[in-house]
Structure 1
């Protein structure tokens, strides 16, 4: 019997529950902060509805509006755009760069897609409004624009050795105004109806399809959990007790089904249903109801999160990113083409800006000149709050998405209780600074930062 096998039982008995479950304490702290934010705004909104004293201490929580199905639905679709870009910003910051141009690039891609939908494809190309190819061609044009601009940024940074701060600061000033000149400063709309499906409320899966997606997601999460255990056993690594594996699987499945259950409890307003039936020349049956279910934009974010996590953990590209961020000189000496890697990282960031533009434009249902304003700050804040180290080499995709959710929860909650916009920005700025301070203290305690 090996030494590991001899001492493993004793070590497991001495470990705490969190250590046995192998839960990231920093992630747990972020989840705890998110729960506190939700409960705080839930109680606050409940107090505004019922400010008088009540003998029931939980009355304010039960009467609050923040955790209603409607607000959770809106919160998720509002988070998607920033969260998509935050996943790419993780790779940028991990490689010790920064991208200040993501909001401006989103606006440029939105302008391109808006022009494609209201002028180029229907009129210049002669396909007409409502043609099924309008939305796909607009999306391809937007994604290509974002990727090319991102690659150009990466070439300037990687091969011309211009600091990323300067290149992307220039992009912050350039790309939005290029979009402004392309559209002559006009708001573009109405957009193609198929394009609007990617915005949120106009494109959802409904109850049945949402449950099917939840079942598939839960099954994949449990499968991945036990595949990881199998791989560890194959290499004689220590694994969690089987009860811990089952508990984590139950937590994953419970979170997935709980989230979908909340979305499936949000019913489509009766007035909107009547308009839908009237457009088809029908009369809505008495007592008929439908639910929104999982938005297509949220499904896109989930699939993107899985893909980006796989890239970070399972591919050579991902390993090169973290190796370069950990020690750029050592990475270059080991044979990694760090210049080309920089181009690839910024091209990916540009692609994600365009994907975010699709979601944001479809949610707003038009192109406006101020779309994506200050998104660069929100995206960087989401990545940093999610645990991405500005010194490079450390970051997670799920952390950035959770950071974006925390940011949006703060802003949405403050808007619901009537906090002025300037004070909202003050709070978000304070949260960002405190999050960085906490991250520094955490890394000092764990020995990751001297």
Structure 2
């Protein structure tokens, strides 16, 4: 045990990260045993990753919101409103001008959604930052207003079908395939290794403490192993033979005997990974990220040091709104339609994912990767309980208990470590 602690200390691994990974492993192990070996399979891991993407994308933005000592209760309703509006744009409005199936429909739709999300988020941030209305009240009002607006856009009717190219972004029908998934996996592995040693060179150049060289190689090996294992599992999920036959029939060809195809990385998961990388860079490598965490740690000191905390609040909520729009794209594209209940209770899932991932409600502390892992833990619980036939009300009870327990564990951890 002492040797393990010594190795972890040398690697400088976040113990909360280890705890979350261990919790996820326990959840997967229990459900795998209860379902008779049906849980940890390529098919279920694929579905789990697709189902997690939307909430995880929004959870990365919620980290910034909570770190600055605010809260956003409107993300689920705003997702529903943006999703319904994008549905109307691509199914009703643009086809009248461009024609059905035009290649620019999905591009214009996504751009319009991102613009709406950023503008509406910035507006809420302006109310909070400049008019000093508490974020709880502003976003609670937003929850009611955006949900009502979502119904008003289509008078409660489901919008379908959505643009075929747009639906690819949902992940269920859009994947990279085996070859391109491995290309992405290899490039991601090379990037991870490069970042590890670039960070080491930067620390050496500034005469900071660095880990032993073996520890750097060990971390790089772990990153590469995780990335390649994830790609291998998703590639192992095979496309049904009948679907492959239809693909060949559509081209007027006959499927070669014995041919198999793997799904590979879903587009929505690729979007999630890109968002995670960008948000991590913003949090750790940019002035904006430093200002966000400084403001969350001590708002008065941050303002006295020259940080425009009011405008910073507008920026944080604009980022949150943009990420809600990305979540709306993924959620509606995965379903292939935009219904009035789109995003219902997502605000609670997003906040829970950030908190379970180690973001302190008192502000100043939080990680992007923690929020993504928190979203995966939440979805793993719900997916597993659904597979074993647990009723929806009991699922909500379990998730609520887990959320409270996770916060309590985090409080105990911070008290003992003084963080």
Distance in 1 (CA, whole Å) between partners of 2:309 and 2:397 is 38
Mark the runs of 5 or more structure 1 residues left unpaired by the alignment. 1-12, 47-63
Matched, 1:44 2:34: yes
Distance in 2 (CA, whole Å) between partners of 1:167 and 1:197 is 34
Matched, 1:19 2:3: no
Give the paired residue count: 417
The 10-residue stretch of structure 1 (139-148 or 157-166) with the greater mean CA deviation from structure 2: 139-148
1:155 is matched with which residue?
126
Per the TM alignment, residue 279 of structure 1 is displaced from its structure 2 partner at its CA by: 2.7
1:346 is matched with which residue?
317
1:248 is matched with which residue?
219
Distance in 1 (CA, whole Å) between partners of 2:351 and 2:189 is 30
Distance in 1 (CA, whole Å) between partners of 2:106 and 2:150 is 19
1:89 is matched with which residue?
62
Per the TM alignment, residue 274 of structure 1 is displaced from its structure 2 partner at its CA by: 2.2
1:108 is matched with which residue?
81
1:70 is matched with which residue?
43
1:271 is matched with which residue?
242
Alpha carbons of structure 1 residues 282 and 15: separation in structure 2 relative to 1, 3 Å: closer
Per the TM alignment, residue 278 of structure 1 is displaced from its structure 2 partner at its CA by: 2.6
Per the TM alignment, residue 345 of structure 1 is displaced from its structure 2 partner at its CA by: 0.4
Deviations 1:25-64 (A, max 9, x none): 1110110000000000000101xxxxxxxxxxxxxxxxx1
The 10-residue stretch of structure 1 (270-279 or 183-192) with the greater mean CA deviation from structure 2: 270-279
Per the TM alignment, residue 381 of structure 1 is displaced from its structure 2 partner at its CA by: 0.2
Distance in 2 (CA, whole Å) between partners of 1:127 and 1:305 is 34
Distance in 2 (CA, whole Å) between partners of 1:349 and 1:232 is 32
1:301 is matched with which residue?
272
Per the TM alignment, residue 422 of structure 1 is displaced from its structure 2 partner at its CA by: 0.4
Deviations 1:73-116 (A, max 9, x none): 00000000000000000000000000000000000110111001
Contact 1:323 1:393 in 2 (8 A): yes
The two structures, once aligned, show a CA RMSD in angstroms of 1.2
Distance in 2 (CA, whole Å) between partners of 1:71 and 1:14 is 32
Matched, 1:284 2:255: yes
Match of 1:193 among 149, 156, 164: 164
Matched, 1:359 2:318: no
Aligned positions of 1:434-445 closer than 5 A: 434-445=405-416
Higher relative contact order at CA 8 Å, sep ≥6: structure 1 or structure 2? 2
1:9 is matched with which residue?
none
Distance in 2 (CA, whole Å) between partners of 1:117 and 1:15 is 55
Per the TM alignment, residue 445 of structure 1 is displaced from its structure 2 partner at its CA by: 0.2
Distance in 2 (CA, whole Å) between partners of 1:249 and 1:137 is 40
1:426 is matched with which residue?
397
Distance in 2 (CA, whole Å) between partners of 1:119 and 1:197 is 19
Per the TM alignment, residue 15 of structure 1 is displaced from its structure 2 partner at its CA by: 7.6
Deviations 1:142-179 (A, max 9, x none): 11111111011001000011000000001111102101
Distance in 2 (CA, whole Å) between partners of 1:293 and 1:14 is 35
1:446 is matched with which residue?
417
Rg bigger for which structure?
Answer: 1
Contact 1:112 1:138 in 2 (8 A): no
Aligned positions of 1:207-218 closer than 5 A: 207-218=178-189
Match of 2:354 among 383, 395, 411: 383
Normalised to the residue count of structure 1, the TM-score between the two structures is: 0.91
Distance in 2 (CA, whole Å) between partners of 1:73 and 1:247 is 28
Contact 1:81 1:357 in 2 (8 A): yes
Distance in 2 (CA, whole Å) between partners of 1:179 and 1:27 is 37
Distance in 1 (CA, whole Å) between partners of 2:341 and 2:180 is 35
Per the TM alignment, residue 285 of structure 1 is displaced from its structure 2 partner at its CA by: 2.6
Distance in 2 (CA, whole Å) between partners of 1:81 and 1:164 is 23
